[in-house]
Structure 1
Amino acid sequence: MTPAISLQLYTVNAALQTNLDAGIARLAEIGFTTVEAFAFVDRAPALKAALDAHGITARTGHAFLVQDEIDSPDGIKGKVPSHEDTFRAAKELGLEVVIDPFVPAELWQTRADVEGVAARLNAAARTAATYGLSVGYHNHDHEFRAQIEGRSAYELFIDLLEPEVKLELDLYWANAAGVDVHELLPRLGNRLIAVHIKDGPWREGISTAELPKDQLPAGQGDVPLAAGIATATALEYAVIEFDHYEGDIFDGVTQSFTWLQNTLANEDRKVSA
């Protein structure tokens, strides 16, 4: 199955805050037919109207589910909407999977920490099911860097999750933590429904604690993105994202879209050959 090319709207959120309809229109011009929602709880009707107007759907979206309050490295702070408010908005927007995008490093240091994160996400999954939705988790580097009982906190976390909880693997952050995607991705199996497509030069010290300023369009850096796409067995979405981009963000997104489109076409040719 060829994954759909998507975009995490966090990437262009500054433009969407200025003019939501115009920003979504630019994504449609690039060629997107689906996106991954961001900050959707308080703007679900307006976002849905803009997406509908330009022929774009959103089937996945990011929303905080584990913590009641958030203070993230990119400046997102404050009280988190309830699970019920989040899932009602997700349903209105047409989402199928709500993905928690960030749980800070201090909650991944011990078995008890990880058990708490998994329990909270499992509980969210049970509530989401009453709305006809699923939940998932999106990693950064710290879940892999933390070692508990001889393996990464991320691997322990996976064992503690209920089978219906989905995974979205950020290939950039996994690579920053030294993860071998060829070894990891097959073990994640069918619950891995999405990857984040993000690139940049390899250097020591890349960390969520200090978001990098040198990210590049997909295919122009050192992250093994093509290998990640080829190794995943049940991928539904390949989601372009930038944490930061020094140039024009829509130009960076366009370059990533073109690279990803070509890469997926090459994979299709390999399968059919």
Structure 2
Amino acid sequence: MQISVQMYSVRDALAEDYQGTVGRLVELGFAVAEPFALLERRDELVKARDSFEIAFPSAHQSFLGDDDFTPVLEAAKAVGVTYLVDPFWNPEDWKDEAGVASIAQRLNQRAQQAAAEGIRVGYHNHAFEVSSRIGDRSALEVLAEQLDPEVVLEVDTYWAAVGGADVPALLSALGDRVRLVHLKDGDLAEDPAGQLPLGEGRMPLPGTLAASAGVDYGVIEFDQYAGDMFDGIATSLTYLRDRA
């Protein structure tokens, strides 16, 4: 598992100095990072990749709506993205089988379009996809069984835990479809203000990391953090490196 960082964590710094912030992530020791708002930041990301020793193999960008998918694929290809991940879909559609089936269909259609460009699409969960139950399984598990083999999942392990999952068991149940995981820690409340560097909160990290051993990227992320964000990221990076 290669360690990455979700650039949303440093969104405030990016807004002030995009290239300088990418440079700080490189100085911390990151060779890969996961950007968000791929379409809007395409040119900045291409410039950063050319300026620093960093790659962007995965990225967050909404693409499951009805907008033209072609510009998204063009941006992903220009930036060097392999895993194009939609970070959110309407919580109402996760409440029943028909809604989940519709999401799966959208993902499968986008996967066919992306395959021609050598890109795989995926979905990133929050808590509601896990807390929503269809029969005796989470809606996320119901989704997974309807996806074509080309579609991947990026499991946000923290939000899965907030949603009530036994995270190592969930990762095992989803199997090889999980190619990326988001790694974070905190008090496991729905309010992200209680998030903390890895190893300082309530996440079952040893079991989570063991169950994530076969994924391609483990992505450090903070939705919020009361301390210095770069210090928090550095502490999380050290935690993972010490357990590699």
TM-score range, shorter chain: over 0.9
Q: Which runs of 5+ in 1 are unaligned?
A: 69-80, 265-273
1:167 to 153, 169, 172: 153
Count of equivalent residues: 244
- The equivalent of 2:46 in structure 1 is 48
Q: Which amino acid aligns with 1:245?
A: Y
2:179 to 185, 193, 200: 193
| Cα drift, residue 196 of structure 1 | 0.4
8 Å contact kept, 2:141–2:174:
no
Could you say what the CA RMSD is over the residues aligned between the two structures, in angstroms? Answer: 1.4
Q: Which amino acid aligns with 1:243?
A: D
8 Å contact kept, 2:153–2:180:
yes
Q: Which runs of 5+ in 2 are unaligned?
A: none
8 Å contact kept, 1:194–1:238:
yes
- The equivalent of 1:99 in structure 2 is 85
- The equivalent of 1:10 in structure 2 is 8
Secondary structure of the 1:99 match is strand
User: Is the counterpart of residue 222 in structure 1 residue 202 in structure 2?
Assistant: yes
For normalisation by structure 2, the TM-score amounts to 0.95
| Cα drift, residue 121 of structure 1 | 0.9
Q: Structure 1, residues 51-102: CA drift from partner, whole Å, max 9, x if none? A: 331200010001112234xxxxxxxxxxxx5311111000000010101111
* Percent of matched pairs sharing the same residue: 41
8 Å contact kept, 1:141–1:177:
yes
8 Å contact kept, 1:200–1:221:
yes
Secondary structure of the 2:234 match is helix
**Within 1, Cα distance between the matches of 2:172 and 2:192?**
28
| Cα drift, residue 143 of structure 1 | 0.7
Q: Structure 1, residues 127-184: CA drift from partner, whole Å, max 9, x if none? A: 1112111001111110111111332111111111111101111110111122112322
- The equivalent of 1:37 in structure 2 is 35
- The equivalent of 1:110 in structure 2 is 96
**Within 2, Cα distance between the matches of 1:256 and 1:67?**
34
Structure 1 runs (4+) greater than 4 angstroms displaced:
none
Q: Which amino acid aligns with 2:22?
A: I
Q: Which amino acid aligns with 1:167?
A: L
Q: Which amino acid aligns with 1:197?
A: L
2:107 to 121, 142, 150: 121
8 Å contact kept, 1:39–1:62:
yes
- The equivalent of 2:18 in structure 1 is 20
| Cα drift, residue 225 of structure 1 | 2.3
The 10-residue stretch of structure 1 (25-34 or 193-202) with the greater mean CA deviation from structure 2: 193-202
| Cα drift, residue 233 of structure 1 | 5.0
**Within 2, Cα distance between the matches of 1:109 and 1:263?**
38
1:241 to 211, 221, 228: 221
For normalisation by structure 1, the TM-score amounts to 0.86
- The equivalent of 2:132 in structure 1 is 146
Secondary structure of the 1:36 match is coil
**Within 1, Cα distance between the matches of 2:12 and 2:124?**
22
